[in-house]
Amino acid sequence: MGINLNIFSVKSGKTSLLALAAVSIISAFMAAGTARADIYKHIDKDGVLHLTNVPSDPNVKYIMIMREKRILFQPNIDVNKYDDIINRTANKFGLDSALIKAVIKAESNFNHNAVSPVGAQGLMQLMPKTAYALSVDDSFHPEKNIEGGARYLRYLLKTYRGDLSLALAAYNAGEKAVAKYHYNIPPYRETQNYVRRVLSLYKSYSN
């Protein structure tokens, strides 16, 4: 999710006050669980202060002013609860069941009712438009969600010629973000952490 705040500030010392107010607002949202991101700032040539969690301009020097809120997953989660569905779906789409399981862990921690701040739903956190495109009529239904997510993963792996890291980056940040950065993993902290986390979980579940 991208939060982009553009704050105009004159050269009378109000910059810091406006920035402080904006950061306070962002902190409140993050504390409420509505946003999870690192916050960066930069001031453009016109003196406009920009706060964002998506440092997307490679020509701008961003300064991190707030680290993302870390998600503390609940203990005693049954990580094997959906193994039968995962295995059937993996066979159907020619995927490794450990990969599907790793994505589910990273996306929802096996909570089939999970909803992200931007509206992604279910075990594999499908956005409504993505779910519709994948013919998933109920993203909170475990089997339908897993099948939709697996179908999307299969498509992404084909799109990026088997490059798992790029497929995962696109799963997290979108295909347009990967294309924007010349088919490399976008320089978004969230996306880079996501790719590393899923690959680590994949290795763990493969053992």
Give me the percent of the chain exceeding a pLDDT of 70. Answer: 73
Using CA of residue 39, residue 45, residue 48, residue 54, what is the dihedral sign? negative
**Catalytic site includes residue 190:** no
Beta bridge partners of residue 126, listed in sequence order: 121
More confident: 37 or 117: 117
pLDDT digits (tens, 9 = 90+) for 95-104: 999 999 999 9
Scanning the structure block, which residue is given the tokens 């109920």?
138
> What is the pLDDT confidence band of residue 202, given thresholds at 50, 70 and 90?
very high
- The reported pLDDT for the residue numbered 37 is 53
In this model, does residue 194 exceed pLDDT 50? yes
Q: Report yes or no: 99 and 149 within 8 Å, Cβ to Cβ.
A: no
In this model, does residue 130 exceed pLDDT 90? yes
Q: What's the whole-model pTM score?
A: 0.66
In this model, does residue 151 exceed pLDDT 80? yes
Choose, from 68, 107, 143, 147, the residue flagged as catalytic. 107
More confident: 72 or 167: 167
pLDDT digits (tens, 9 = 90+) for 28-85: 544 444 444 567 777 888 888 887 766 667 677 778 676 554 444 556 788 999 999 9
- The reported pLDDT for the residue numbered 87 is 98
Q: How far is the C-alpha of 186 from the C-alpha of 100, rounded, in Å?
A: 22
Mean pLDDT of the chain: 82
- The reported pLDDT for the residue numbered 32 is 45
- The reported pLDDT for the residue numbered 74 is 58
- The reported pLDDT for the residue numbered 12 is 36
The DSSP result for 53-110, as a single string, is S----TTS--EEEEPPPPP-PPSS--TTTTHHHHHHHHHHHT--HHHHHHHHHHHHTT
The mean pLDDT of 146-166, rounded to a whole number, is: 98
10-14, 144-148, 175-179, 192-196: least confidently modelled range = 10-14
pLDDT digits (tens, 9 = 90+) for 14-39: 445 455 555 555 555 444 444 445 67
- The reported pLDDT for the residue numbered 48 is 85
In this model, does residue 149 exceed pLDDT 70? yes
141 closest CA partner among 126, 160, 159: 126
